[in-house]
Structures are given as C-alpha cells and as structure tokens.
A and B are shown apart, each in its own frame.
Chain A
C-alpha cells in the first residue's frame, strides 16, 4: 500500500539551510529542521505573549476604576476579544507546538519530524494569520468584538454592513490557525507512532511524548468541528445564509455546540503537554522515579476520551434541557479522576525526594499549586446549580486564568528554563530566573485570586463599567496585572543575554535521564545521526541503577566530545 518510499533523513540532509547549520539567518528562512522550527515557534509566540499581555494590561487599566473612563465600551469589547484570541491562538498553541517540535524528535531518538516540509508550512501559517488578525484593528468598525467564542447572533450582526470587517478577518485567521494545527497534529502523531528509537515501546516513552500524543489526537478529533462551525459562521456573516440566524430558521445554539465541542478539548490540548512537562521535571528535580508511570501515561488518554464528551458544561445557562445538564455534569466530574491520578502521582513523586529548588522546579511547583486550586474551582463550576449562579461572572474568568496562565504558562516557563541549555547550548542566569518566578507568582496570584470574590459577589464578565462595590477586588487584580507585566522584563533579559553571552552548557546540566540529554548541547542537525540508541528501560529510573539505553557510556562520551 505504500505509495512512495520517502525517507525524510535522505531528503533532509540535502536541503537544510544552505549557508551552514549555524547561520543565524536560518531562523528567518523556510527551514525544515524541527529544532529551528521549534525556536521560530517559541520566539513568535513570546512576541505575541507581549502583545496579548499589553491588551490584558489595557483591560485591567480600564477596570481599575468602576466607570468606563479609559476606553469606550465598544473598544473594550474589541480589546478582550483580541486579548483572548491572541493569547490562545497566537501564544499558547504556537508555543506548545514549538516545544513539541523541539522535544519530540530528540526524546524519541528520531532525526527529525516525519514530514519536515509540512512542519515548516505549519509554522509559516502562524505569521500569516497573525498579520490577518492584527490587521483587523485597522478595518472600519474595529476588530472582532463578540468575545473569543464569537457566539451568533452578536458575531453575525455586522453593524457597518461592510463585507471586510473585523469578525470576518477573525474567522479567516481562526480557520488558518486550524489548518496549521491540523498539519502539525498529523505530523506529531505520525512521528511518534512511526519514528521511535529501537526498543522504545509505548510503555517506555517519556510521559511528555504520551501527553503530546494524547493532545494531538484530541486536536485531530476536535478541531474540524470548530472549522466546520467557522465555515458556517463565515457564510452566515458574509453570504447571508441562515445556519445560525433565527429569522431564517437557523439555530444559534448549534454554533455553541460546534464551538465548545472543540474549544473545551482545546484546553486539554494545551494542558496535557504541560502535564507532560510536570511529569518530566518533578522526577529530575526530586531525584526519584515518577510515581505510577503507567497510570500517569494511561490517564492522558482517559482525559482525551472524556474531554470529548464534556462540552455542554459551557452551556448550562443557554437553555440546555435538564437531562443534558445532569449528564454533562456527571461526565465533567469524571474528568477529575484521571486528572487526580496525575496530581497524586506528582505529589507522591515529590514526597521524600531530594528536592532542588532551581527556577524550572519553582515554576513547576507553582504551576502544580495553582492547578490544584484551579482544578477545584473547575469542579465547583461543573456543578449545575453553582454554574448557573456564577456562570458568566468573574469567577469563571478567575478559574480559567488559573488554568491557562497559572498552570499552562507556568509549565511552559518551566519547560523553557529546563530545556534552554539543551537547545541553545548556553546556561541561563539562575538569579534572574528566580526573580522572574517570584514576580510571576505574586503577580498572577494577586491578579486572579481576588477575582474569585468579585465573581462570587456577582460581577459579570465582559463589562467596561461595574458597580463600585467590586472596586477593591479590581484594584488588587489590576496591580497584579501590572506586576505580571513587569515580570516579563527579567525573563526577556535573561533569555536574550544568556543566549548571547551566557556560559556554555554541558550536555546534561541537570543530571537528567532521557534520550535528549545524551546529545550534545545544542544537538547536532540530525540528533543521533547514525548511532540511534536502543532503549532498555522505562524513563525516570533515578537512583535505581537501571541503564536507560544500551551502551550509555558511548553516548555520554560522544556528547562530551562535541563541545
């Protein structure tokens, strides 16, 4: 059944960047090397983190006083819509794709991804759709302003009657982002299934690989539903069809189903790799094997399957029938089981470990702490009576920021610090890293913890002006947001400065076990090249005296020679 015999290794050796693998210009070219693409993704995404963060600080600047005095409410609508869209589609998805690109091939001993050119295409779609999205600030009527979920009928109102409007550009950008994600997902799944090192059976893969596989399968199963919904929304908006228009016999709630069928699992697409990062880092920094490796691995797939049947919990207050509410309350609560397995395993890994509080570990611990908190408010929100009471208030905003920023972004920062020496070949400054962590943790807690109270008292989300009784919580939150803004300074300083003039990194600075740590820092163009190691045992055998790969000493010596 094979159509072509296509060996990426043979093709790739020829067409990497022509001027040599260490030319800095390769980061600005259509390079097919997964490591270059990974860094392209991460840098682009961090740039959009700054833009999204700036919008977030503008929102908090508006909300520091009860009346809407900084912006017109219409402008405010555009701000929070773009803040959400940029943070999700231009920061979190690209940065996780970037980390996955960097980590998957070395971790499974593959030279590169299965489809290197498709991989580059998936990356280069990101700047294209981000320009389209940012252009929408400059079209008449401003950017999309119906929230990141873009519910009809608000999203298809098109008050100015122009064909090219912010909402239309938003839909095009989201669809392109979907195409990019699908290309990426096909690539990751094929790579993980087909290109593992000899001896690396499924139950010898690192947990990060398990979670990436689970997350990308979820992407493949869920994302087309959003694309389908977006196409129908586009037709309703531009061509006057009535899929979601009540006056033409359409059903606006149908769009909510399409949207949440993907967009709830999307949270798991983002959080699963972060679970993988936690599972990688806790054993390294507490010098113990991961507790319950197989359970943690299989729990990822439990989350994948369950997360496909929970989407209606976003719609408890949009006229959902009672039987449906109860059913989806039940499935949503079930998802706490595989998640709880993971949390339990991490805590058991930490228990009695020889814990090193370096920057990546601090971010991991902070992320775990916040995740437990955000998970508990998640279970609260899954309960129908609570959800009907606090749905669409700041309680929901606080909950999902606790997951999306305080867990996912913390995990991403941890991963960036942990693997920074490996992929740049330079050590970062530990002190600046700790300052970054302290500012981030204080800022994030101060930003979103008070909003829980504001939400429970009934402050609705997505409003530019609010009742003065909520003022105290909002002032606290705004101060937190500005501290978070300041926190980006030590981070950028650290990354740029240590990459340019930092100390050279040894191949394995953290004494970690894993295929990627057997490579020199930075790894050569095709990772292990001709000598792909044979995996003997499951990962994380810290202190167990079990060799991870056959002939480990050979690879250690080889990696040291390359410096």
Chain B
C-alpha cells in the first residue's frame, strides 16, 4: 500500500517536472523567438512597419514668377492635382468589400479620360506597390470628380502647375517647363536654378487605409519657393510685334517669320517674336522646330541688310568717301570673272546712292577696294560670327568663315550679304550699334533676378559695352542721312516708307534661300527682311522683321513684305513709350 502511494507520488512528481520542463521549454522557445525577432529580424520588420505606417507628405514649393518689364506676370505657378493609385490598398479593398477592381479602374479612367483597360492593368501589375501614377496634372473638374467618387485606393496628389497668363505671347522667349516643373527650354531652362523651388515635407503616420493620423507629424521641412525673373520685354510691345508679324505672314502666305524690337541705347530687347507660335502651357502639342526661338538659334544669310555695315566700314577704312561716285553701269557688271547684277540700271552713284538703291554692283566694287582682310575685320567687329552673350540656351554664333577660307568670290559676295550667316538677334544688335552712335552693346533679355519675397538679388540695369565699332560721326551720318534716304527714296518710285510722326531709317533685304540639301539657291524662295529705327537722328527703338518664303506672287521684296510691319511696330512702340512725335514737337507739347 505504502509502496503504491510512493509510486503514485513519484509519478506525479515526474509528471510535474515534465510539465514544468515543457512549459519552461515553451517559454525558452518563445524567449528565443522574441530575442530573434527583437534583434535579428528587427531591421527588416522595422523597415516594413515604417513603410506601412509612415509616409511623407509633400508641401509643394512654388517655381518663381517671370515678369515683363512693367511687372506683368508672364509665367507663374498654381497648385493643381495629379491622380495616383495605391494598388495594394485598391486590391485589398475590393477583396474585403467584394467589389471589382475593374469597376474602380473604369470609373477612374472615365473621369480622367484615359483607357480603362490600361488603368486596370497598371494597378494589377503594381499590386505589391503603394504608388502608381494614373494621370499627371488633371483639370480642376477631374480632381473634383475623383474626390467625390471616393474610390478605394485612388488618391489626389497636389502638384504645382506652370501657367502662362499671357497665353502664347512671348512663348519662344519664356520656353517650356516640364511636368515636374523643371525648365526645359528658353529662359525657363536658362534660369532654372534661380526659378526652381525646393519642396517641403512632413512625416506623418498612416492608418491601415493610408489615412493620415492627425497630430502624428514629425520633422517638418518648410518649402523654399523659387526666385523671380524680370525681363526687359514689354508685353504690350510684344503684342504689337506678334500681331504685325502674324498679319504679314498671313497676307504674304509665308512659311514663318521672326521679329525683334530693341532699345539701341541700352541693348534691352523690348520684343522678340517667332511665327508660327505655340502654347507654352501645352508645349507637347507643338513640334520642337516650332518651339525653337529662331531669332537666336537660326542663322540666315542677311542679304542687303548687311550693306550698311560694309559701307560704314569702308568709310572708316578710307577706301571710299561720301562725295565720290562709283560707276555701277547698266545693271550688269563683271568683277574678277563674276557677273553682278542690279534690279535696275543705276549709273554712277555715291556711297549713299549705292545703299539707297541697294546696288549689288556698287557694293561688289567697294568690296574689291577693301579686300578680304578689311572686309573680314569689319564683319567680325560688328559681332557677326560670335554669340551675342544674351544668355539664351542654344544661341548660334552664325557663320563667318575664317579669313583663310575666303576666296575672290567672298570679296563680292560678303558686301551683298551672302556667304556669311547671322542670327536675327546679331543683326538687330549690330543695327543698334549704328543707331546709338557706334557702340556695340550686349543685348539683354533679363533685367533683374528677385528673391522669393521680391527683393532684388541681382540687377542687370547697366548697359554692357562690348566695344566701339564705328566712329560717332560715321554712325550719325548713317542714321541721319543715308539710312533715312533709304526709307524716303527707296528703290521704286512711290515706295516711301517714312512715318509722319517719327522719321524712320532702315535698310531692306531680299535674300535668296539656299537649298537645304545641296549647293545653290532655290528659285522663288526668299527671305524678305527690313531693319528699321526711329526717330531718325536719335533712335529710341530698332525693329527687325524677317519673313521666310513669302509667296512670290504676292511680292517678295523686303520693302513690300517686311517693311510695313516694321513701320507699324515702330509707330506703335514709340507712341506707347510716349516718345514725342513731330506733331507733338510742332505743337510745343
């Protein structure tokens, strides 16, 4: 009996020990597991938890504004929305509620105007991810519709959107900003670093449905807005210029055109236009060749508009004087085995007559007297063959071959404005040098850089002198006499271009266009141009208009195609700037 009791007691003890051992082992295993999770797996699990629970909310910074010279906003930013999907959440929500992902995708796609099948495919293939763009920069109406639809896993992301209150005005100057607000073309690109802001952010905790838990934000970084830019361009003058350019191109059924208005005393560019134009707010709708600012990127053979530079250089070099006459013959003349032709017989002409009648023969003879070395020096001195330094991306230096490559042909071709190519901006800048008394100034598009709160960071108000290119007396003779006579007498009878209010000076140009793919000039293809300035004597504005490939049936001479536009642009510009005209001066106002 006693033995049996002892046996039971022993078995109970053993059982207790076994149970205790099992429990102890269980605890040990659990402790080991806890230790393993707490140490070895900790980094992975912490990262997973952070990814699930934490997130960053972006506080968008504003890209800087671009103002015209009078403080009108030409480019700015405002908040818009983009739509993204949280695929993991969308799929989990449909699994829980028994809905269909296809329905969510279809509803979202219908609102956003995108393909429903593609939307569903993108969500499904990103099922393990928490972010997938559905559409960037949606309209306000679409954003409201998405908000109202409250689709599981479909969210709005605030993003800054570049807007251009002036519409297509100044499009080629302003350029293009990309979908993420980075400058891609034009001044948006050139000053991207100054204009760009830096987004702020705050970390926040999210619940299982990715809703932010209020009051759990940590580590806020405030956004830094971008600086602003003030241009020299005046939106009103830009408007005249673009309208005149467009009107002339339409009237002459031309391919394209460019126009520039500059202030000769400061080098400031008041207007810069290319046609056809584009909408900078929807730049992708236009091909790159339309978006290019051809006033600085595309060189052209200037034709007769180059003649005043060669003529003034010849005067300065002393190879010709103002009183002597040069026999330009009956309209055809052979120089060094090359036959030069004028549009009509000019006979004997003074230097003034050669410019007024735009005589190719006269210029060829002057070129022969000068020789290649002097010609090359004169052309380079006016800034042709080098960039102007305006600070615009993609600026071309034009093409002036090295002197060693010039031939006997160059001696007669260059004075007529062929064999070299210049950008419209180089040409307008060189005319400014004649108009301001002989000083070549660097053209300027930007007047000042401002900080985000509007303080001046850097000012570019002072004109930048490149060099003196002409003695004052020669420049004044050109602006007060020779180029005024071009406008008054011109080539054809009754072709007076003068303005009543503001005496005008200028030079026409009608250059043949070369073939794109082979040597030689294309018949019937012209670049009609005119560079003018007013008021003669002390010009306050220089304007250039160059129209490419006008329909020859409607006229192609620069005087007929481009000069009327320059005349209108200068009249409007000067009256807008409040420059007193003849009428006001006579009335003693």
Q: Do A and B bind each other?
A: no
- Taking beta carbons and an 8 Å cutoff, which residues of A are in contact with B? none
